[in-house]
Amino acid sequence: MPSIVIPAHNEERTLGRLLATLLRGTAEDEFDILVVCNGCTDGTAAVAAAHGPRVRVVETPVPSKHQALRLGDTHARGFPRIYVDADVELGAADVRALAAALTGPDPVLAAAPERHLPMTGCSWPVRAYYRVWQRLPAVQGGLFGRGVIAVSGPGHARIAALPPLMADDLAASLAFADGERTVVRTARVVVRPPRTWRDLIRRRIRAATSTAQLEQKQRESDAGRSSDAPSARTGLGDLRALLRADPTLLPALLVFLTAALVARRAARRAIRSGDFDTWLRDDSSRQS
């Protein structure tokens, strides 16, 4: 029985949508679904409980995604273990496809679904940004930025050893070599992008800060020995390759570079002070 762990912090507006999609067309005991409400001050727990006994609810006063994931592990009943953000949409067929990739004849340790980003309601700079972002090789092949990561038992043992990080999905993705992870093309998750430039920048500041934290941890763990730590940073070579392949991307590429520069500059203060706890939340993507 696959266990689905959903950490949720004040997600009463989005959680019901996810749970309804997950439960549709499933057998009574097909999935073990666990919602970990962490530091919630809204009706998240009530929304989860309203879906009946097939959804178990665990509550903690600590507003921490990392601790919520670990708490979920202590209550989860089976493998594969599938971690799902509360603000995405994932169906039962997608869970089955992910589980098959981890348990089939040629299993991997970690898997994630294809992402779909609906752009309805998004401003033109946001649409331009994601036109570039979705084409980046690291974005296409990595498990991060999807809101879903599925792991086998051995895969779980590897990510359970990771330290608490803002970029938990990026760290989990980089913990596996190319042959150990896969993006399952028959599974799809709906990830709602920010609608406004302001909220996009908030997301990118968070990404820049969390990437800096991850790289700092990598340097600390590799102190005293040479290291070729994996990275998902975008290089100018990647952008030049995209432009050569499709010159019409130039305007969108300029928007992408502007967002990256603004976000990195804004993230410097948090990085200098070691503030890796402030979570800049994007609320525009949570609008119905």
Beta-carbon contacts of residue 76 (< 8 Å; ≥ 6 apart): 3, 5, 32, 34
Q: Is 281 helix (H, G, I), strand (E, B) or coil?
A: coil
Q: Is 42 helix (H, G, I), strand (E, B) or coil?
A: coil
Residue 1 per-residue DSSP state: -
- Residue 272's Cβ-count burial label (10 Å; 0-12, 13-18, 19+) is exposed
What pLDDT is recorded for position 224?
46
Amino acid at 105: P
Record the tokens describing residue 143, joined without a space. Answer: 């498990």
Handedness of CA 267, 65, 231, 191 (dihedral sign): negative
Nearest CA to 37 out of 55, 67, 60 is that of 60
Nearest CA to 248 out of 135, 139, 138, 115 is that of 135
Residue % of the chain over a pLDDT of 90: 70
Instruction: Give the pLDDT mean for 225-233.
Output: 56
pLDDT at residue 287 is higher than 70:
no
pTM here is 0.90
**CA distance linking residue 146 with residue 115, whole number of Å:** 6
Calculate the average pLDDT of the chain: 90
What pLDDT is recorded for position 234?
78
* Secondary structure E strands in the chain: 3-8, 32-38, 55-60, 81-84, 89-90, 110-116, 148-151, 181-190
- pLDDT tens sequence across 213-223: 787 777 777 65
Record the tokens describing residue 241, joined without a space. Answer: 């390759």
Residue with structure tokens 């266990």? 3
Beta-carbon contacts of residue 97 (< 8 Å; ≥ 6 apart): 113, 184, 186, 187
**CA distance linking residue 139 with residue 88, whole number of Å:** 17
Lowest mean pLDDT among 44-58, 125-139, 203-217: 203-217
CB 185 within 8 A of CB 119: no
Confidence of residue 25 (pLDDT cuts 50, 70, 90): confident
**CA distance linking residue 44 with residue 8, whole number of Å:** 7
Residue % of the chain over a pLDDT of 70: 92
CB atoms within 10 A of CB 246: 14
**CA distance linking residue 63 with residue 141, whole number of Å:** 30
Dihedral pair phi/psi, residue 131, rounded to 5°: -60, -35
What pLDDT is recorded for position 276?
65
> Higher model confidence: residue 104 or residue 58?
58
CB 35 within 8 A of CB 67: no
Q: Is 161 helix (H, G, I), strand (E, B) or coil?
A: coil
**CA distance linking residue 181 with residue 214, whole number of Å:** 20
- pLDDT tens sequence across 233-247: 778 889 999 999 999
**CA distance linking residue 212 with residue 207, whole number of Å:** 9
What pLDDT is recorded for position 225?
45
Instruction: Give the pLDDT mean for 80-94.
Output: 96
Confidence of residue 274 (pLDDT cuts 50, 70, 90): confident
Lowest mean pLDDT among 23-32, 126-135, 177-186: 23-32
pLDDT at residue 209 is higher than 90:
no
CB 283 within 8 A of CB 13: no
CB atoms within 10 A of CB 194: 22
Instruction: Give the pLDDT mean for 152-166.
Output: 87
What pLDDT is recorded for position 268?
85
Instruction: Give the pLDDT mean for 180-197.
Output: 96
pLDDT at residue 272 is higher than 90:
no
